[in-house]
């Protein structure tokens, strides 16, 4: 197959590296400075010195007998004139590089296949900056795109069917879910963590990104509309209620449900109720419910999160005895796994101006990061993530790499929501390092994947909850 290439630059060089022995190449350029290099390339049989926009030069190069004409000079006007000549000589396969996207239309009107390098590069950079989690491949001369998107848990598409959100301008070609490929139909429902493949026009990626990945913050509303506050003693009133009111007002929850334990009856039940009313009245809507049996408080909390549309439980620290401290009892983490929403351990560190997310590259940590970003967007707070590797004297390359990977996972969550997350790489004892770092933060968001086990090591999360001065939100997977 005979091919005529105009322009002995980097593009021609890269192309010739890919062409096999079956190609017969003639190369035209107005300068012979690069000819020495191209003489060594096997597909090149002829080198013609001259102006690529000259009919005489192209006739000398054998344009009448060429199968493919490739215009890759660095000047669009030269490429265009060369393509016009190729058209007049009846060349059927013509392709041209374009340096300025403003010239695309006139090349297309000529019927020439075009590649605009600056447009494609700028477009890919724009896509990356808009949505780094989205993988996109251009098709149809850059006019269309195949997009691959992972659907996050709080995507507005979750729970909706193809019929609900389909468009004539794009279509979902496939869904990769739990190791299986699904060819979607009108009734197919999107689920969190679906990896979906979309074909559409190149101008639609922002719209598609918004539909599948970006949404307004949803904490705590994605879990439920109400805040539940167990009230056991005077300490609960002092620490939990004010933070629960802040959470309700600033995060648009509907109301607070105060669950007063029977133990409060013996320490002045009416006084408890009066203090609750004084604190909450006129600031938030609230209900007061009573637990008749003290030993049923925890079971009642669990049951209410499942039937009262609870978005978050706000509680004070559980008091641990000496034996419980020694054996590492995980009372709070255990309760967090038994309820159906996040659990906030209030320590009166509100409003939230700074949020810390310890991470270890697990699903629970990513879930916590998503919640932290949600809270950060609502509260306009600084969000940082911290990962702890082994101490320097015993740290291996794998330990440091693991910690860096953990930070990268959270960074991607922030990028998906267009929210900056600071990265803090620590080394040493996880409890000590996280607690020490958290001194500068109002809220810690911890992800927990196993009952009685924190995101880092068994019971580390519980120790952080008790030792940190910050309020702590526990999110379970």
Q: How far is CA 217 from CA 129, 142, 285, 342, in A?
A: 20, 33, 22, 15
Residue whose token pair is 């082994």: 390
Banded pLDDT at 345 (limits 50, 70, 90): very high
264 pLDDT band, cuts 50/70/90, is: low
Strands 354-358 and 382-389: parallel
Parallel, antiparallel, or unpaired for β 144-150 and 195-201?
A: antiparallel
Instruction: List the 180-182 sheet strands across, edge first.
Output: 135-139, 144-150, 195-201, 170-177, 180-182
Residue 349 sits at φ, ψ, to 5 deg, of -110, 50
Higher-confidence residue: 65 or 143? 65
Q: Which domains does the chain have, with CATH numbers?
A: 2-119 (3.40.50.720), 131-212 (3.30.70.1450), 226-476 (3.40.50.12370)
Give the span between the Cα atoms of 316 and 18, in whole angstroms: 67
Residue 344 φ then ψ, to 5°: -105, 125
Mean pLDDT of the region 126-139: 63
- Chain-centroid distance of CA 209 in Å reads 11
Q: Which residue has the higher pLDDT, 189 or 477?
A: 189
Q: Decide if pLDDT at 90 tops 80.
A: yes
Tens of pLDDT, residue by residue over 389-423, are 877 555 556 667 778 888 887 887 787 677 889 99
Assess whether pLDDT exceeds 60 at residue 325.
no
- Cβ atoms of 333 and 462 closer than 8 Å: yes
Reported as a pLDDT band with limits 50, 70 and 90, residue 6 is very high
Number of Cβ atoms within 10 Å of the Cβ of 4: 28
Lowest-confidence pick of 200-204, 240-244, 454-458: 454-458
Confidence of residue 330 (pLDDT cuts 50, 70, 90): low
What pLDDT score does 410 carry?
Answer: 84
Q: How many CB atoms lie within 10 A of CB 333?
A: 26
Band of the pLDDT at 85, cuts 50, 70, 90?
Answer: very high
pLDDT at 321: 44
Interhelix angle 397-416/363-379, rounded to 10 degrees, is 40
Q: Could you give the CA distance from residue 429 to residue 451 in angstroms, rounded to a whole number?
A: 22
- Encoded tokens for 382: 């600084």
Query: 349-405 pLDDT, tens per residue?
Result: 899 999 999 988 788 888 899 899 989 999 999 999 999 887 755 555 666 777 888
Closest by alpha carbon to 113, among 78, 143, 158?
A: 143
Predicted TM-score (pTM) above 0.75 = no
Kindly indicate the confidence band of residue 88, based on its pLDDT and cuts at 50, 70 and 90. very high
Listed range (35-39, 180-184, 435-439) with the worst mean pLDDT: 35-39
pLDDT class of 323 with cuts at 50, 70, 90: very low
Residue 299 has phi, psi (to 5 degrees) of -65, -35
Distance CA 126, CA 407 (A): 24
CA atoms lying within 13 Å on the CB side of residue 295? 0
pLDDT digits (tens, 9 = 90+) for 298-316: 888 999 998 888 999 999 8
pLDDT at 143 over 80: no
Residue 463, pLDDT > 90, answer: no
State the average pLDDT for the chain.
82
Give the model's confidence band at 268: pLDDT under 50 very low, under 70 low, under 90 confident, else very high: low
Three-state helix/strand/coil letters over the chain: CEEEEECCCHHHHHHHHHCCCCCEEEEEECCCCCHHHHHCCCCEEEEEECCCCCHHHHHHCCHHHCCEEEECCCCHHHHHHHHHHHHHCCCCEEEEEECCHHHHHHHHHCCCEEEEHHHHHHHHHHHHHHCCCCEEEEECCCCEEEEEEECCCCCCCCCCEHHHHCECCEEEEEEEECCEEECCCCCCECCCCCEEEEEEEHHHHHHHHHHHCCCCCCCCCCCCCEEEEEECCHHHHHHHHHHHHHHHHHCCCCEEEEEECHHHHHHCHHHHHHHHHHHHCCCCEEEEEECCCHHHHHHHHHHHHHHCCEEEEEECCCCCCHHHHHHCCCHHHHHHHHCCCCEEECCCCCCCCEEEEECCCCHHHHHHHHHHHHHHHHHCCEEEEEEEECCCCCCCHHHHHHHHHHHHHHHHHHHHCCCCCEEEEEECCHHHHHHHHHHHCCEEEEEECECCECCCCCCHHHHHHHHCCCEEEEEEC
């Amino acid at each position: 197959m005979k091919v005529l290439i105009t322009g002995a630059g980097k593009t021609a060089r890269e192309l010739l590296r890919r062409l096999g022995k079956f190609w017969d190449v003639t190369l035209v350029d107005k300068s012979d400075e690069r000819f020495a290099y191209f003489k060594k390339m096997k597909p090149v049989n002829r080198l013609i010195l001259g102006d690529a926009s000259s009919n005489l030069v192209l006739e000398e190069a054998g344009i009448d007998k060429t199968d493919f004409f490739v215009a890759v000079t660095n000047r669009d006007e030269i490429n265009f004139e060369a393509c016009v000549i190729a058209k007049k000589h009846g060349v059927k396969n013509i392709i041209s590089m374009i340096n300025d996207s403003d010239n695309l239309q006139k090349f297309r009107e000529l019927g020439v296949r075009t590649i605009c390098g600056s447009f494609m590069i700028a477009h890919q950079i724009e896509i990356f900056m808009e949505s780094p989690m989205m993988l996109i491949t251009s098709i149809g001369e850059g006019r269309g795109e195949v997009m691959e998107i992972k659907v996050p848990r709080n995507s507005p598409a979750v729970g909706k069917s193809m019929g609900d959100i389909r468009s004539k301008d794009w279509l979902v070609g496939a869904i990769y879910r739990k190791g299986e490929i699904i060819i979607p139909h009108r009734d197919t429902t999107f689920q969190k963590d679906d990896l979906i493949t979309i074909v559409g026009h190149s101008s639609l990626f922002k719209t598609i990104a918004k539909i599948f990945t970006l949404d307004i913050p949803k904490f705590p509303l994605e879990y439920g509309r109400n805040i539940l506050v167990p009230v056991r003693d005077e300490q609960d009133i002092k620490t939990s209620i004010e933070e629960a009111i802040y959470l309700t007002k600033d995060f648009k929850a509907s109301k607070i449900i105060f669950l007063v334990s029977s133990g409060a009856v013996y320490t002045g039940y009416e006084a408890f109720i009066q203090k609750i009313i004084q604190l909450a009245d006129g600031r938030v809507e609230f209900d007061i419910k009573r637990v008749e049996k003290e030993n049923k408080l925890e079971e009642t909390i669990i049951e209410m999160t499942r039937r009262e549309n609870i978005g978050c439980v706000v509680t004070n620290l559980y008091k641990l005895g000496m034996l419980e401290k020694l054996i590492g009892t995980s009372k709070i983490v255990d309760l967090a796994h038994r309820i159906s929403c996040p659990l906030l351990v209030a320590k009166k560190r509100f409003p939230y101006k700074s949020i810390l997310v310890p991470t270890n590259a697990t699903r629970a940590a990513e879930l916590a990061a998503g919640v932290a970003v949600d809270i950060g967007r609502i509260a306009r707070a600084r969000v940082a993530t911290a990962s702890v590797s082994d101490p320097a004297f015993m740290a291996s390359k794998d330990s440091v790499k693991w910690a860096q990977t953990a930070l990268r996972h959270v960074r991607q969550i922030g990028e998906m929501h267009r929210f900056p997350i600071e990265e803090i790489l620590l080394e040493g004892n996880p409890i000590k390092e996280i607690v020490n770092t958290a001194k500068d933060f109002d809220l810690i968001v911890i992800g927990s994947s196993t009952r009685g086990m924190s995101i880092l090591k068994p019971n580390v999360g519980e120790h952080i909850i008790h030792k940190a001065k910050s309020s702590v939100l526990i999110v379970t997977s």
